[in-house]
Copies of this chain bind each other. A is one copy, B any other.
Amino acid sequence: MTIFETLESEVRSYCRSWPVMFDRASGSRMWDVDGREYLDFFAGAGALNYGHNHPELREPLLKYLSSDRVVHSLDMNTVAKAEFLERFEQVILKPRGLDYKVQFPGPTGTNAVESALKLARKVTGRESIISFTNAFHGMTLGSLSVTGNSMKRGGAGIPLVHATPMPYDNYLDGVVPDFLWFERLLKDSGSGLNDPAAVIVETVQGEGGVNVARLDWLRGLSELCRRHELLLIVDDVQMGCGRTGPFFSFEAAGIDPDIVCLSKSISGYGLPMALTLLKPELDVWEPGEHNGTFRGQNPSFVTAAAALNFWTDNRLEKSVLRKGELIEQALTEVVDPIDGVSTRGRGLIRGVAFERPELAAAVCREAFDRGLLLETSGPNGEVVKLMPALVIDDDDLTEGLTIVAESIESVAARELTPTSSGASR
């Protein structure tokens, strides 16, 4: 029995899929205490977009920590915070013509979502939020109420009631016009829908099963929000910071959300940090109306400012898109001949969906045995999720894809009868 089994709560999860003790990590590689090496296609669930221990982030971090600079500062003004803010304005907001104020809502994604929902309710005076099927926004009560997963919702222990789910893109039969139901409800004063304050959406649902919203659908959603005076909140916690190519995942759609939530890779180094971006006219917060102890996390600001160097030109975006295409091609090749398996994704978030959910878990186990870290997602864990570091080099990528291919093929050979395999189609 390890200390984890004796002392840590049963709530732990990833350690059950990867029952080893990790110790070192660099770029796209991790090593356990026995020195075994793993290729990482998991990237801290999106918190390690620049890989593990990137030297260009570590250097300023070590320098900062070594020289008695302020580490913890709540919402006091610090040099490190100023430098991050200036850099964020200069590198991210200005070039994209985005006009946002920045809130540090506490250092996790769920803090960003909670503050977004609170602000939307305060601004509009309305309570209800529209969320989408299979959304994932976090585990605190506000965020959980807009999250789809029934097991996680059940953990709340109280009815989660101030949100109504709408169908995400491509949720129904592919024939029903976009927003037919949603807009009908909004237009009809007898529909029974409580007047919503806001819509919260992920452009790609990572935890929900790598569900990719079409850009047209996102634009349609944005227009619907304007028509009905709903605030549009984009939760870019997992898909922001370049995961789909551009810094913000919504850029490709050309939409301009009212509120944006960022976290995970915003610090760039796996350190806790989160931002809530809000249109200036929405900044009706009272001083201290939302607070938290770890809002002023200067080591995170230091690595976050350094990580913005990746975004001074469009090279990373292009590289992400190129590598995304590579993955798509490789996966398609593997999956095409197999019945009941399909691919999906955008940029460097990619999924392989299995009609039989247990096969996705089996593929991840196979991959782990071959030294590759992969997780499943989707309501039934039916999707193998590929989410390598954005900065992964082509050799590592190819090596990982080979393992993915072998793992899928191995599972397919074992679990799918010949008659259902592509060969016999």
Contacts and interface: CB of A to CB of B under 8 A. Distances in A.
A100 to B, nearest CB: 8
Contacts of A107: 107-108, 272, 294
Interface string A296-313: 010100000000000000
Contact of A9 (B128, B145, B278, B297): B278
Contact of A47 (B26, B164, B293, B380): B293
Nearest to A142: B141
Nearest to A72: B270
Contacts of A110: 106, 111, 140, 292
Contacts of A102: 7-9
B61 A73 contact: no
Interface stretch (A118-126, A222-230, A320-328, A336-344): A118-126
So how many copies of this chain end up in the complex? 4
A68 B85 contact: no
A234 interface: no
A36 B15 CA distance: 48
Interface in A1-37: 2-4, 7-16, 18-26, 30, 33
Given A108-B293, A138-B292, A189-B151, A10 B118 contact: no
Interface stretch (A192-200, A242-250, A395-403, A411-419): A192-200
Interface stretch (A74-82, A212-220, A346-354, A358-366): A74-82
DSSP majority for the A interface? Answer: loop
A148 B1 CA distance: 43
A25 B69 contact: yes
A283 B9 contact: yes
Contacts of A140: 110-111, 114, 140-143
Contact of A155 (B134, B192, B272, B289): B289
Contacts of A108: 106-108, 111, 292-294
Interface string A135-162: 1001111110111111111111111111
A62 interface: yes
A287 B82 contact: no
A163 interface: yes
A264 to B, nearest CB: 6
B148 A20 contact: no
B8 A103 contact: yes
Minimum-distance CB pairs A-B, first 3 = A121-B157, A72-B270, A190-B379
29 contacts: A4-B81, A8-B101, A9-B102, A9-B278, A11-B75, A11-B103, A11-B287, A11-B288, A22-B77, A23-B70, A24-B68, A25-B68, A44-B74, A47-B72, A53-B68, A106-B108, A107-B107, A108-B292, A118-B157, A127-B158, A133-B190, A133-B191, A134-B190, A134-B192, A155-B289, A172-B180, A175-B175, A175-B176, A263-B293
